[in-house]
């Protein structure tokens, strides 16, 4: 098999919001850039179809609108999950340039009249969400990335990283339509493949009906892990609140405008249970909503019927910004926000950060560098980057850092033919299974195990049982059979889902306390123990096992 | 089908196939093959499951795995001939 080889200073794996900004950061620093993307950077990732919110402080005259106030908020909702210095470097220092860059590429965060429309929810000290129309953000970013001279390989799934002497030196790619393989040599590599979805049982039945992109399956985290990189915050299983039958985002928009959570007794259950009521942190709203449902007080709703006309008009006219198809869904289902409460549901679980400002995944420093030389990470696949604001700021920062690293180094030799062949053989093996299980059956089992044993209420015995079951299931991974190139991509995703699941369960078992419940809720250790557990569970691969250690975080309490 | 195509409006450009983030939309290109009746006549066939009544003179989009659609609406937003509608399945509308 003839395999073509390409090289660049910086290789970016994943062309979503973080990866596209990383590409711009690297190109602006003077590096040559290759972007690998499973689909098409114009519409890929969590915000491919659109987005409507960006978190920012704008240094107006309000006390809540400053960097200090923002970092206090980060500490308050994410204590023990992030180093504030990293957040300062990856987000705060990059924020003004990020807002300017979005305007420059043609998708400003402002309203048509030039003002910022700001709303408050999720424990924020003031209205830190900027509400904007980001329906064309991805196509505009894609155009900017190409214009900056970056070479984009679409429909190219990364088969594995290439390493030499403990450094990451590139990756191998697989074209999901032609079945061709490629070698990409690079001086620095950035992973920006998003969080892990399709990992937990889906309350809306179809595992692809997810809040975040169902094609993000932890591919980058698992590549990095195998290459020796540390991961953190993997014990947190993120959940959110979504419309009942369609996992479309909208929580920010509905609650930011003044929506009220209501149970089937007509009680507004968030009001009085938290000082911020409906605007409490996301994990608190999810925790209380789960309690309502467990106690038989479902179905649950978000009630917007009291909103004044102007707010309702803004809400209805902007609902499709975050999910283009949400207005169609409401129409086809017969929902009418102005006249009846909207039925909602807790989402599926996922591997993702424990707050809006803390990530989960590849451990990075304030430069976006992982613990492996030559490997960087950003966006939802990194532990100190999250959400739209994190991807745009931290992505660009990682791009600049990786480029600065790369420009000081020489390109290495090509990988050996034997290594290349081994990677290809491993990847295509499911094609040559004559009999076997479809990937979907194995995935369903992963989701069932994760939902029942590594979910929003955990115990030592349950987590150990979950790990045993995942290990048993792993034996059957080699039996998966696929018939076409598309499913070969999917089966690789299935492998990553199982690996992420094992790591999540191992981290959750290690952390014998609860934090940001229900994202990590140990029924056998129900309290948050800041004395012993204010910090990160660091996960590394050791002799193909998962090795956990603890990294304390020191806060300078004021 | 989560994504339905008005094949009278569709000009077969393939934008939807190209931008679909889940590799869910494929373009079908009809093939000319010899008629199976042995008459030697060349006929157009569909290799894949195209909607009934499709015009076989042009390329047309189809969804071999509709269950993998995320309903993101990117295809509809980018379709130059506005040939795409999003239709939610009964379980999404009724649970």
CATH classification of the domain holding B58: 3.30.70.20
The residue in chain B having the minimum alpha-carbon distance to the alpha carbon of residue A42 is B19
Cα atoms found within 13 Å of the Cα of residue A177, Cβ hemisphere only: 15
**Closest by Cα among A149, A137, A142, A177 to A19:** A142
Cβ of A43 under 8 Å from any chain B Cβ?
A: yes
Which domain covers residue B10, as residue numbers?
3-86
Sequential DSSP letters for A96-138:
HHHHHHHHHTT--SS-TTS--EEE--TT-SS--EEE---TTHH
- Average pLDDT, stretch A409-431? 94
Which tens digits make up the pLDDT trace of A451-484? Answer: 999 999 999 999 999 999 999 999 999 999 998 9
User: Which residue in the set B21, B65, B69 is minimally distant from A39, CB to CB?
Assistant: B21
What are the C-alpha distances in Å from A478 to residues A139, A274, A438, A484, B17? 38, 49, 11, 17, 31
In angstroms, the CA A360 to CA A380 distance is 7
Q: What share of chain B in percent tops pLDDT 70?
A: 75
**Is B91 inside any structural domain?**
no
Q: How many domains does chain B have?
A: 1
A298 CB neighbours in chain B (<8 A) are: none
Mean pLDDT in chain A? 96
**Is B39 inside any structural domain?**
yes
Q: Where does the pLDDT of residue A144 fall: very low under 50, low under 70, confident under 90, or very high at 90 and above?
A: very high
Q: Where does the pLDDT of residue B81 fall: very low under 50, low under 70, confident under 90, or very high at 90 and above?
A: very high
The residue in chain A having the minimum alpha-carbon distance to the alpha carbon of residue B16 is A43
User: pLDDT at residue B42 above 70?
Assistant: no
A206 CB neighbours in chain B (<8 A) are: 67, 91-92
Which tens digits make up the pLDDT trace of A300-346? Answer: 999 999 999 999 998 998 888 889 999 999 999 999 999 999 999 99
Cβ of A48 under 8 Å from any chain B Cβ?
A: yes
Cβ of A176 under 8 Å from any chain B Cβ?
A: yes
**Is B93 inside any structural domain?**
no
**Is B57 inside any structural domain?**
yes
pLDDT at A540: 98
Cα atoms found within 13 Å of the Cα of residue A206, Cβ hemisphere only: 24
In angstroms, the CA A268 to CA A303 distance is 9
pLDDT at A164: 95
In angstroms, the CA A124 to CA A409 distance is 43
The residue in chain B having the minimum alpha-carbon distance to the alpha carbon of residue A15 is B21
B69 CB neighbours in chain A (<8 A) are: 208
**Is B95 inside any structural domain?**
no
**Is B94 inside any structural domain?**
no
**Is B55 inside any structural domain?**
yes
With contact defined as beta carbons under 8 Å apart, do A55 and A353 qualify? no
Cross-chain Cβ contact B19/A42 below 8 Å: yes
The residue in chain B having the minimum alpha-carbon distance to the alpha carbon of residue A155 is B23
User: pLDDT at residue B32 above 70?
Assistant: no
pLDDT at B64: 87
User: pLDDT at residue A183 above 60?
Assistant: yes
Q: Which of A496 and B48 is assigned the larger pLDDT?
A: A496
pLDDT at A449: 98
Give the DSSP H or E segment for A342.
strand A342-346
- Average pLDDT, stretch A265-270? 97
Q: How far is A511 from chain B (nearest CA, A)?
A: 34
Cross-chain Cβ contact A39/B20 below 8 Å: yes
State the ipTM, two decimals.
0.95
Sequential DSSP letters for B34-66:
E-TTSS--EEEE-SS-PPTT--TTS-EEE-S-G
**Is B52 inside any structural domain?**
yes
Question: How many helices (H) does chain B have, and how many strands (E)?
Answer: 3, 6
pTM: 0.95
Q: What share of chain A in percent tops pLDDT 70?
A: 99
* Strands of A117-119's sheet in order across: A53-55, A129-131, A117-119
In angstroms, the CA A349 to CA A436 distance is 28
């Amino acid at each position: 098999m003839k395999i073509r080889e390409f090289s660049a200073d910086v290789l970016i794996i994943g062309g979503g919001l973080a990866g596209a900004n990383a590409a711009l950061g690297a190109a602006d620093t003077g590096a040559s850039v290759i972007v690998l993307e499973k689909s098409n950077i114009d519409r890929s990732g969590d915000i491919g179809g659109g987005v409507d919110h960006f978190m920012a402080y704008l240094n107006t005259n309000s006390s809540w609108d400053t960097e200090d106030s923002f970092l206090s908020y980060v500490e308050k909702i994410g204590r023990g999950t992030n180093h504030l210095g990293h957040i300062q470097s990856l987000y705060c220092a990059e924020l003004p340039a990020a807002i300017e860059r979005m305007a420059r590429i043609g998708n400003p965060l402002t309203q048509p009249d030039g003002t910022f429309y700001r709303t408050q929810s999720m424990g924020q000290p003031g209205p830190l969400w900027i509400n904007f129309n980001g329906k064309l953000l991805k196509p505009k970013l894609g155009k900017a990335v190409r214009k900056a001279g970056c070479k984009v390989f679409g429909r190219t799934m990364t088969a594995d990283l290439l390493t030499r002497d403990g450094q990451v030196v590139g990756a191998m790619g697989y074209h999901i339509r032609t079945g061709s393989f490629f070698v990409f040599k690079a001086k620095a590599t950035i992973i920006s493949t998003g969080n892990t979805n399709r990992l937990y049982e889906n309350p809306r039945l179809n595992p692809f009906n997810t809040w975040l992109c169902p094609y993000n399956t932890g591919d980058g985290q698992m590549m990095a892990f195998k290459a020796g990189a540390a991961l953190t915050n993997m014990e947190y299983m993120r959940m959110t609140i979504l419309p009942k039958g369609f996992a479309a985002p909208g929580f920010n928009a509905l609650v930011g405008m003044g929506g009220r959570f209501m149970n089937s007794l007509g009680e507004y259950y968030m009001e009085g249970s938290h000082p911020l009521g409906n605007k409490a942190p996301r994990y608190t709203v999810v925790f209380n909503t789960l309690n309502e449902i467990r106690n038989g007080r479902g179905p649950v709703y978000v009630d917007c019927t009291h909103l004044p006309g102007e707010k309702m008009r803004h809400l209805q006219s902007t609902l499709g910004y975050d999910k283009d198809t949400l207005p169609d869904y409401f129409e086809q289902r017969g929902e009418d926000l102005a006249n009846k409460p909207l039925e909602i549901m807790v989402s599926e679980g996922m591997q993702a950060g424990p707050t809006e400002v803390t990530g989960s995944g590849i451990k990075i420093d304030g430069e976006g560098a992982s613990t492996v030389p030559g490997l960087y990470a950003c966006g939802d696949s990194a532990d100190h980057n999250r959400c739209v604001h994190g991807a745009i700021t931290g992505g660009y920062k990682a791009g600049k850092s990786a480029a600065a690293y790369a420009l000081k180094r020489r390109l290495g030799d090509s990988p050996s033919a034997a290594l290349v062949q081994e990677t290809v053989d491993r990847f295509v093996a499911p094609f040559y299974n004559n009999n076997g299980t479809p990937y979907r059956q194995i995935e369903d089992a992963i989701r069932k195990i994760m939902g029942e044993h590594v979910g929003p209420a955990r115990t030592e015995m349950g987590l150990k049982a979950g790990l045993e079951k995942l290990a048993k299931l792993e034996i059957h991974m080699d039996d998966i059979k696929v018939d076409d190139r598309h499913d070969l991509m999917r089966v690789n995703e299935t492998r990553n889902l199982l690996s992420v699941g094992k790591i999540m369960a191992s981290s959750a078992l290690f952390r014998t306390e609860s934090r940001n419940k229900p994202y990590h809720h140990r029924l056998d250790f129900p309290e948050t123990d800041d004395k012993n557990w204010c910090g990160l569970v660091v996960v590394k691969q050791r002799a193909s096992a998962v090795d956990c250690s603890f990294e304390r975080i020191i806060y300078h309490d004021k | 089908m989560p994504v339905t195509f008005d094949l009278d409006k569709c000009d077969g450009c393939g934008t939807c196939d190209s931008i679909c983030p889940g590799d869910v939309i494929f373009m079908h290109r009809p093939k000319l093959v010899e008629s199976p009746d042995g008459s030697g006549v060349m006929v157009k066939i569909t290799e894949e499951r195209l909607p009934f009544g499709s015009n076989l003179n042009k390329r047309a989009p189809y969804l071999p795995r509709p269950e993998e659609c995320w309903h993101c609406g990117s295809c509809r937003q980018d379709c130059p001939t506005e040939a795409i509608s999003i239709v939610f399945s009964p379980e999404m509308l009724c649970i």
